[in-house]
A and B are shown apart, each in its own frame.
Chain A
Amino acid sequence: MRTVIFRSIAPYLTSLMVLFSIFVLLRGHNEPGGGFIGGLIAASALAIYGIACGVAPVRRAIYFHPMAIAAFGLFMSGMAGVLSVFASVPYMSGLWIYPHLFGVEIPLSSVLVFDVGVYLVVVGAISSIALALEERDRD
């Protein structure tokens, strides 16, 4: 699997896939996509990178332990629900704000925070599994 061509294009492929996954994540509310799919795409990107170049570069590249990323995502999703406390509405009620940035209206919401949390959990957990299995491949 670790051919020169594969090794050379893998970083670019991975970056593209991660970018695409974020795109899928963000458009998920109105078009097909969302945290689960985005997370899976990013996780496969990391898995591909791991197969091509070994696990160590992947771990270096994502800097955090994948499980830590997943844990942070879970925390983020949970907290997205807690945000509704400040608006005196029940847990997990969606909240929306529309700040204007450079003249463009950007809809931000607690739901988006939640979806990003889902994304991080899926990326973290699945890539952690994949990386752990790939690591075992070499010992």
Chain B
Amino acid sequence: MEPILAMLVGALFTVAIYLFLSKHVIRILMGAAILGNAVNLLIFTAGRVTREVPPIIPGDADALTGAAANPLPQALILTAIVISFSFFAFLLVLGYRAFQELETDSSDDMRVAEPVGDKTPPAGY
């Protein structure tokens, strides 16, 4: 199953990056949301996939025996999902506020930090 997931990961990355490269804040945001999924699925697949057996120790056993999914990538991804969500929310609000302040949703027009025709620094001492 890994090859299929690998290609799916590639597709997710491609779309995310394509959206990133568009200049509109909204599309960049959606790209960010997809990028989070892409990375999570990447980690998940790299930890190898097993079908349908969650890493839960049966009641009468002391340790996980037999085929079960790899718990480590799951633990990594679980926190990553929540954190990427909070960052997505942050980006969303940032983009929204930028739109309100600058009245544009195009990253090309957002030139507050690096204005066009910035003055050269003083050449003296």
Contact = CB atoms under 8 A, between A and B. Distances in A.
Would A and B touch once assembled, by the CB under 8 A criterion?
yes
Contacts of A125: 86
A36 B54 contact: no
B86 A126 contact: yes
How many interface residues does chain B have, given as a range?
10 to 19
In this complex, the interface size class of chain A, counting residues with CB under 8 Å from chain B, is: 10 to 19
B78 A36 contact: yes
Nearest to A136: B96
Main secondary structure of the interface of A (DSSP, over half): helix
Interface in A7-42: 30-32, 34, 36, 40
Contacts, number: 19
Contact of B89 (A32, A36, A129): A129
Interface string B60-81: 0000000000000000001101
Contacts of A46: none
B102 interface: no
Tell me what chain B mostly uses at the interface: helix, strand, loop, or mixed. helix
Given A129-B89, A133-B93, A36 B56 contact: no
Interface string A96-139: 00000000000000000000000000100110010001000000
Contacts of B78: 34, 36
Nearest to B82: A36
A34 B82 CA distance: 13
A122 B89 contact: no
Contacts of A31: 56
Contacts of B56: 30-32
Interface of B: 54, 56, 78-79, 81-82, 85-86, 89, 93
Given A30-B56, A36-B78, A129-B89, 12 more contacts: A32-B54, A32-B56, A34-B78, A36-B81, A36-B82, A122-B82, A125-B86, A126-B85, A126-B86, A126-B89, A129-B86, A129-B93
